[in-house]
Amino acid sequence: MSIYDTLNKEQREAVFCTEGPLLMLAGAGTGKTRSLTHRIVHLIEEEGVNPWNILAITFTNKAAEEMRERAVSLVGPGSENLWISTFHATCSRILRRHADLLGYNRSFTIYDASDQKSLMKEVLKSMNVDTKQFPEKAVLSAISAAKDECKSPLDYRNDCGDNYRDIRISEIYEEYQKRLKENDAMDFDDLLVKTVELFQSYPDVLDYYQERFRYIMVDEYQDTNTVQFMLVKLLASKYRNLCVVGDDDQSIYRFRGANIFNILNFEKYFPDAHVIRLEQNYRSTQNILNAANGVIVNNKGRKEKKLWTENVPGELVHFKQYDSEYDEAEGVVSYINFLAMRGVPYEDMAILYRTNAQSRIFEEKLKQRAIPYAIVRGISFYDRKEIKDLMAYLKVVDNGNDDLAVKRIINVPKRGIGQTTVDRIQNYAIVHQISFLEAVFRADSIQELGRAASKIKKFGEMIRNFRDYAMENDISELMLYILDVTGYKNELEMEGTDEARSRLEDIDELINDIVYFEENNEDPTLTDFLVEKDMYTLNAGIDNLEESSNKVLLMTLHNAKGLEFANVFLGGMEEGVFPGYGAMISGDESEIEEERRLCYVGITRAKERLYLSAARRRMQRGQAQYNRVSRFVDEIPEEYLDRAKKTPAEDRRDKAMEQASSHQYAYGTKGVKPYYLDDFKVKPLSSLDYAVGDRVKHIKFGEGTVADIVHGGKDFEVSVDFDRVGRKKMFASFAKLKKVK
């Protein structure tokens, strides 16, 4: 029996089509890697092609290694001469041989992200650039995007027009490249750009590699950017034996520079291209595929294909709308627990979501039920830098004895306070046997601080200000105040990168968590909130010590690409969440189509069961928002969808909400006016059960005597002389003072 007998008709056609350009449109789960490796085997064993003459390019080292292992097992001796690697590894090998032609040493240094950041710091400082206007990461992101398009500093400048910001970035870009060259270094983007430059400038070098790589295969072609397209086109232009494999329906990395038109226009660039569609799916049930087909068919900019399988029809796709995101997480985790009790391993279950911030509630519910879980290619919510930073601020406001928390935030965001200054404060604290924060408050007494003393005093005054604010305001308002005064959120907004946007979403989710805590606790104090979260993170740390791989996996939809699970739970299927609000208001249909492709990727991760869920009410940026069910759920044909039936009360309520007011989103015409943060705050008091001169007790400050009461219109302003901490002024509704009998 031949190894090719295990392939289906379309796979065999792709394997045996070896001459000329070939576009292999491989849908999700259709065996593209298998087809590629069998094609390599066929070229070597049947067509007599030297392994030396074959180049296979992938996007990840893991994918390259997997392809190499499969090829070795099938080909045997000689396969070691195959060149199977990533784009960057391929270009690095080429440049190590020819970099001298571009004015670099062949042993040039490759700068990683940290090196790039350090160099950019130097560049911005030397050019007297205001880093608040031009944050390092934002500038590096703009330069990287330019390199993705193969734009030089001059090209970038020519495209700027009269835009001051772009003109300034073009000048920084030019200086940055100059410094890289002086340091005999390239960044990761340069590896591709410089290889294209090498081929364009030195035809003899290009000819050598065209002869070397007579057969070229590129995996995940839908994810290529402009410079990668140019590289492949140059290499393949002589013999034109180019096979690209991809699925335009799974093109989800536009934010990283991926250009979907590379695959959509392949036949335009190669008019004689042979196109083969792999549509037989080996992963999912037919009902899951029918759901995926029903969603993706709504995209206009795509190549026609329809997934099918010989697998069983399977269960219908399940969908349930819950009252809130907490109910949604509870429902999902309850069902996971139910499946586990029926013998389904945890590792066969995955929770997928649109943004990293959505992991928090699922994590908490899993923790409550002692269900082991792991975040794939991500960090647990309360371990993320931005969350740890902001929690440290809250800890310092609540407890000044937490030296680690103070040290964490003393220069976050940057205030020009270096490690030497921190060490001097610490030494003073040790000598005088006081806390680090108390030493900060005594900055004038620390002679060694010199000019830094003014910065330390300013920081100390800010902390005192936060503490005073905390006396009169709830925790959520304190958090918003901290974000405003420190400029923490503004700094991320100015950065403008995808990483920064993800961090902003996490901050919004932290505020949601705080508001939820305030809503569900009779006396919500900062201390209690911090204790609750400390217990959560402590337990999370203990649980993560488990070596077992049998865990429920949590991940974003982007991180789920290339993976598969027997049972998939896809949460947050609401307008404004998925598709995201930004895509909905952009007015750019291509952004909605990218979101739909992302949904298609999520659906096709499921092998046996797919559970979709949504929340009627979801906290977003500290505000309660009623969202419509995602259009992607509505696009699934009803015959393939099992909708959990509403109770009569739920049905009446939803109809009433539909009639209430216009929705703020573009999709649909009817919706519900959101409830705002004010609706969930403690309501002002109309009367008090204590008077001036009465003894009262505060949950945090203890006992004291009421010194003054002023009716402020919306609330009472109460001044109390507390026995331990002195006089404090606060609103009665927040203070919740109890009269001491």
What residues are labeled active site?
Answer: 32-33, 219-220, 250, 605
Buried b vs exposed e over 494-503: b needs ≥16 C-beta within 10 Å? bbebeebbbb
Residue 354, SS3 per DSSP = coil
- Helical residues (DSSP H) of 347-432, grouped into ranges: 359-368, 385-398, 403-409, 419-432
651 φ/ψ angles, rounded to the nearest 5 degrees: -65, -45
Helix (H, G, I), strand (E, B) or coil at 315: coil
Q: Count of residues for the chain?
A: 741
- Tokens matching residue 238: 């002589």
Helices (H), 473-556: 475-486, 488-495, 498-519, 526-543
Q: How do beta strands 716-722 and 702-711 pair?
A: antiparallel
Beta bridge partners of 318: 611, 642
Residue 704, Cα to own-chain centre: how many angstroms?
48
**308: DSSP letter:** B
Give the H/E segment covering residue 460: helix 452-472
Residue with tokens 């305001």: 473
What are 74's two structure tokens?
């099938």
Q: What is the CA radius of gyration of the chain?
A: 30
CB 70 within 8 A of CB 112: no
Angstrom distance (rounded) from CA 14 to CA 523: 67
Does residue 147 contact residue 164 with C-beta atoms inside 8 Å?
no
Half-sphere exposure of 531 (CA within 13 A, CB side): 5
Q: Biggest alpha carbon distance in the chain?
A: 100
Supply 95's token pair: 């440049």
Q: Which residue has the tokens 């997934």?
A: 307
Q: Is the peptide bond before 579 cis (omega within 30 degrees of 0)?
A: yes
